[in-house]
Structure 1
Amino acid sequence: MYATLDSTAFDGRLPLPQVLDQSPGSNPHRRNHVNDFVLLPREVERFNQLLARLGRTQPLEADQLATAARSLGSNASSNTAPSACIRQRLQQARLVEQMLQDDDWEPVAEAVSCARCVLGYLHENRQLIPDSVPGVGQLDQAIVIDTAWPQLAGEVANFLDYQRLRRIEAERQGRDYTEIAFSRSLWLELREIEARLHEHQRRVRENSYAPEPMRYFRVH
């Protein structure tokens, strides 16, 4: 539970298919299949209601979702692994879940509400695209995470820093990560101490403690 997760969750956002950002109706096609799976209108509407709660202002059409899946190579029968952009967002979801599961961390209320909404969808059985669809079965999950991420990224970054400082403090005490009491308030305190130390070190690098060298002078 407390292992550090891959930092690629924050490394260079891999874009989802561009068609998802286009205005509905801009594509003349009317696809509604993701591989052999049919996107039902009522399920697309339900999905859009969730995205709206997470802050998306423009609803998605079945054609956009089907086109996005096709652009990720969903029709290649041998392609069963999710695309890199989907894997990255699932990694972000794992960070969000780990954040909520840590009893010692106290996330801000706004992040908790958003995170629970995201994880609620990811863990429910009724999802827009079944996970069993090769290659893009988790595209809908990636879209949900991507929509919510602007509201979650800052708090997840704080949580990762909390984990970092907790590990440092545990090592200083010669104890295991889980054996020390470590709250959000203590993290804030240690973060401030660390920031002051870094500032002190910066000043030392830029300004020597040694006295200024004596200048030559003449005796008349």
Structure 2
Amino acid sequence: MTQSTTSLSSPSPPSTAHAIDDERLQLLRCMLADRDWTHDPVLRSRLQQAIAALGAPTAIPMDEATWTLIADETAGYLDFRRLRNLEAQLRGCPRDALHFTRADWEVLRVTEAALEHQLRHVRDRSYAPEPVPLFRIH
């Protein structure tokens, strides 16, 4: 029983946990610094407060709504970066030379979803017409 208590009370290596937190904080800071990924002022303020809370030496617990907001925004931002890089490659220009905004990302998300729907439709159904029943004249 002493072994399990000892293993539960021993903290994880601080360098690993700190590195993960640094990566997440870096992503949030990068997201807020990106001029093409715009937020409304209220959302931006909540994200800045979350960064301050996460970066504080003493952890301030955040509510579930804030964690959900962070998760949704970072997932959207990572997808935005993926599509921005893809668009720059397709246009043959450096990413920094491409003017690609959050509005452009939203349009491309809808377009990408429509393409996925079309591909699923083609995969599940056939374009070939139904066979015509045999017609005979007596």
Q: Please list the CA deviations of residues 136-190 of structure 1 after superposition, one character each: whole Å capped at 9, or x if unmatched.
A: xxxx27x569883222211111111111111111111011111100111111111
TM-score scaled by length of structure 1: 0.49
Report the Cα offset of residue 118 of structure 1: 2.6
CA–CA separation in structure 2 for the residues paired with 1:193 and 1:99: 23
Asked if 1:186 is matched to 2:109, the reply is no
Counterpart in the other structure of 1:159: 77
CA–CA separation in structure 2 for the residues paired with 1:147 and 1:209: 46
- After TM superposition, list the pairs within 5 Å mapping 1:166-185 onto structure 2: 166-185=84-103
Query: CA 1:81 to 1:145, structure 2 compared with 1: closer, same or farther past 3 Å?
Result: farther
CA–CA separation in structure 1 for the residues paired with 2:37 and 2:67: 19
Counterpart in the other structure of 1:96: 28
**What is the one-letter code of the residue matched to 1:156?**
T
Counterpart in the other structure of 1:135: none
Count of aligned pairs between the two proteins: 131
Report the Cα offset of residue 71 of structure 1: 2.9
Q: Which runs of 5+ in 2 are unaligned?
A: 1-7
Counterpart in the other structure of 1:73: 11
Of 79, 86, 107, the match for 2:39: 107
CA–CA separation in structure 2 for the residues paired with 1:151 and 1:186: 21
Q: State the percentage of identical aligned residues.
A: 32
Counterpart in the other structure of 1:205: 123
Q: Which has the larger share of helix?
A: 2
Report the Cα offset of residue 104 of structure 1: 1.1
**What is the one-letter code of the residue matched to 1:157?**
A
Q: Which runs of 5+ in 1 are unaligned?
A: 1-69, 129-139
Q: SS at 1:81's partner residue?
A: helix
**How large is the Cα RMSD of the aligned pairs?**
3.0
Query: CA 1:176 to 1:71, structure 2 compared with 1: closer, same or farther past 3 Å?
Result: farther
